[in-house]
């Protein structure tokens, strides 16, 4: 692929806020994916009181071909004090909206669901004013694991389908499946999660109609919020899939309008959109606290 198009370039933000957040995270020994995933929106999110924390370590048991997280076998290790430290970081930084995500942990019987629940409860205890969104792995489709997370009361339960049905075996680890992801999202609704959310990347070789099919499948699973963004290869390593194309902003806008017409309560669709993009805004839109529109 050619160099990044103009619509994927972002201006640097204030390093003062970045330094403050880094200092707190370093002292507490907690990790965010905001920097690790090279998110282009890091300055905006941190400046607006939002951050995405990654729990359960930095080693993933899966090897998806779009993700830069290290793959390996954590051998069942779980830092049980991690939820408290994440909550303490939320408190010290005065965050209003928190996203908690994790690596896949197929080495754990519950896939790490208990750690998610603990993180939610600790944030409620130490930073009771913060809203909490979880972005979970698929827990191998376990209903019990989804219930464990749901019982802790997240404000939003999110799980990403990532790509269209046809490309799932190419893009995601062989242990992931399109159907399992849809089942997890459907289960989250069934066990009492008020708002559910999912995301998809474009530029991997999918067609417009295939993306519309994903949106239709997500609505059938009663998903409320959807994010649509451009896939960008983490590095030139052969491990990662190359971009098939740069999707223009007008195509994102069209898909966002299609999503709204299907009944999604909140939609973000633009090249720079990532899973946690304007998460608080999407939450408020889904609750009807602001007018529905395609966030770009």
In 29-100, alpha helices (H): 33-36, 42-47, 82-93
Q: What is the DSSP letter of 139?
A: G
Provide the 10 A C-beta neighbour count for residue 269.
27
Write out the H or E segment, with its range, that includes residue 32: strand 31-32
- From the list 108, 153, 101, 113, the residue with the least C-alpha distance to 130 is 153
Binding site annotation covers 34?
yes
Q: Give whole-number Cα distances, 254 to 86, 147, 211, 259, in Å.
A: 38, 35, 11, 9
Binding site annotation covers 181?
no
R_g of the chain computed on alpha carbons? 18
Q: Give whole-number Cα distances, 145 to 52, 58, 139, 264, in Å.
A: 21, 21, 6, 26
Binding site annotation covers 193?
no
Q: Distance from CA of residue 213 to its chain's centroid?
A: 20
In 152-248, alpha helices (H): 168-171, 178-190, 208-220
Exposed, middle or buried, 171 (CB in 10 Å: 0-12/13-18/19+)?
Answer: buried
Binding site annotation covers 276?
yes
Residue given tokens 């609704």 in the structure block: 189
How many Cα atoms occupy the beta-carbon half-sphere of 277 within 13 Å? 25
**Residues flagged as binding site:** 34, 39, 45, 60, 64, 67, 276
**Residues flagged as binding site for [4Fe-4S] cluster:** 34, 39, 45, 60, 64, 67, 276
């Amino acid at each position: 692929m050619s160099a990044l198009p103009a619509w994927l370039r972002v201006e640097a933000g204030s390093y003062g806020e970045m330094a403050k957040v880094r200092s707190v995270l370093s002292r507490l020994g907690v990790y965010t994916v905001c920097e690790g995933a090279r998110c282009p929106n890091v300055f905006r999110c941190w400046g607006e009181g939002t951050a995405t924390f990654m729990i359960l370590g930095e080693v993933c048991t899966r090897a998806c071909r779009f993700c830069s997280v290290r793959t390996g076998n954590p051998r069942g290790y779980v830092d049980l004090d991690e939820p408290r430290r994440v909550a303490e970081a939320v408190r010290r930084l005065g965050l209003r909206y928190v996203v908690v995500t994790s690596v896949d942990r197929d080495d754990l019987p519950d896939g790490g669901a208990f750690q998610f629940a603990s993180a939610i409860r600790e944030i409620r205890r130490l930073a009771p004013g913060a809203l909490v969104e979880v972005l979970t792995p698929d827990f191998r489709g376990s209903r019990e694991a989804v219930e464990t997370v749901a019982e802790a009361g997240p404000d939003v339960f999110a799980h990403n389908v990532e790509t269209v049905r046809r490309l799932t075996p190419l893009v995601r680890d062989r242990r992931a499946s399109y159907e399992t992801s849809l089942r997890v999202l459907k289960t989250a609704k069934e066990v009492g999660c008020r708002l559910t959310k999912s995301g998809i990347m474009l530029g991997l070789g999918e067609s417009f109609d295939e993306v519309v099919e994903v949106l239709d499948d997500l609505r059938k699973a009663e998903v409320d919020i959807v994010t649509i963004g451009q896939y960008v290869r983490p590095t030139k390593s052969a491990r990662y899939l190359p971009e098939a194309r740069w999707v223009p902003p007008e195509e994102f806008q069209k898909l966002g309008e299609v999503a709204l017409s299907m009944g999604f309560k909140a939609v973000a669709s633009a090249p720079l959109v990532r899973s946690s993009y304007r998460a608080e805004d999407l939450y408020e839109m889904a609750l009807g606290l602001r007018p529905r529109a395609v966030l770009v």
